[in-house]
Structure 1
């Protein structure tokens, strides 16, 4: 499914629920697809676009909670909202701990359900943006030579050009050349922009590399 409109995938063995949920979801401009079982939904994978899963708990075959376990095990970017007529506190607590957006009981207020689905769609969109950003940053990092990466690590750690030159046993002029190339390849104009682009994880790895003697590992 490729569309600018977000999509909600409804998995419920009750046909009347599937019909009513499809109607409600489409009434607010979202796309909807319904499935009578978790197995039918799994056959639908992979998914494209922005989406959320509206899932029953108790179904023949693979249950909703078992499907959530699959989502967690495979690290799928798939927000889950549970809607069930047979919920209990332990199942609700376990589902929320595993990352479910919400756990709602039938019958549910339309506004409450739509709010939960909206939060799921927003979560998915945010996760997609973070993944795209990480991919872009990694692409920039992969374009750096080993020397450039070492210089970048020094810059991220606040080292002066003279200090980086001493660490790498090269001239300060060479450091300046590498530093200019790093800024160009990373698409930034200042150290502050470089730190912001790389994020805390890469800065932390840079510090570790410096402590180990300046060696850098891409990624």
Structure 2
């Protein structure tokens, strides 16, 4: 049986982005696991001891399984997805939102916006990380 944890999964092919998002989430009291690809994240879910994260933050543009395909594959789990991108493409953003994305942010984005979205999704009290 798969269980949901209070861990947010961060999927981005850029190591510095993964590291920065993990630190940002940690500063708000949110635990995060990071993955360099959609495939690595999905492989982690197939492990018998793995649990499903409470939220996934993923880049739109990933090699192999991109953010939209990852979102499509996660729909049956009901896990909310926040998509991030360095390119603000209204058509792609519209498709992600139509598929049920919890949010779409363009890089560079305000860290407080991401934290607020994650806090809303996982039910943590809203508090600014930079008062």
Superposition TM-score tier, normalisation by shorter sequence: 0.7 to 0.9
Matching residue of 2:66: 63
- Alpha-carbon offset, residue 28 of structure 1: 1.3
Q: Is the 8 Å Cα contact of residues 11 and 58 (structure 2) preserved in structure 1?
A: yes
Q: Match of 1:69, SS? A: helix
Q: Distance in 1 between matches of 2:52 and 2:13?
A: 25
- Using the size of structure 1 for normalisation, the TM-score is 0.51
Contact 2:10 2:58 in 1 (8 A): yes
In 2: Cα distance, 1:10 partner to 1:50 partner: 10
Structure 2: runs of 5+ lacking an equivalent: 124-131
- Within 5 A, what are the aligned runs for 1:8-23? 8-23=8-23
Counterpart of 1:34 in 2: which secondary structure? Answer: strand
- Map 1:40-189 to 2 at 5 A: 40-45=40-45, 48=51, 51-72=54-75, 75-122=76-123
- Deviation of the 1:3 alpha carbon: 9.1
Name the CA distance, whole Å, in 1 between partners of 2:3 and 2:26: 16
Contact kept, 8 Å, 1:50 with 1:121, in 2: the verdict is no
C-alpha deviation, 1:119, in angstroms: 2.3
Q: 1:43 to 1:50 in 2, by over 3 A?
A: closer
Report the Cα distance in structure 1 between the residues aligned to 2:12 and 2:80, rounded to whole angstroms. Answer: 16
4+ residue segments displaced more than 4 Å: 1-4
- How many residues align? The count is 119
- Per-residue deviation, 1:50: 5.8
The structure that is strand-richer by fraction is 2
C-alpha displacement of 1:87:
2.7
CA RMSD of aligned residues (A): 2.1
TM-score by structure 2 length?
0.82
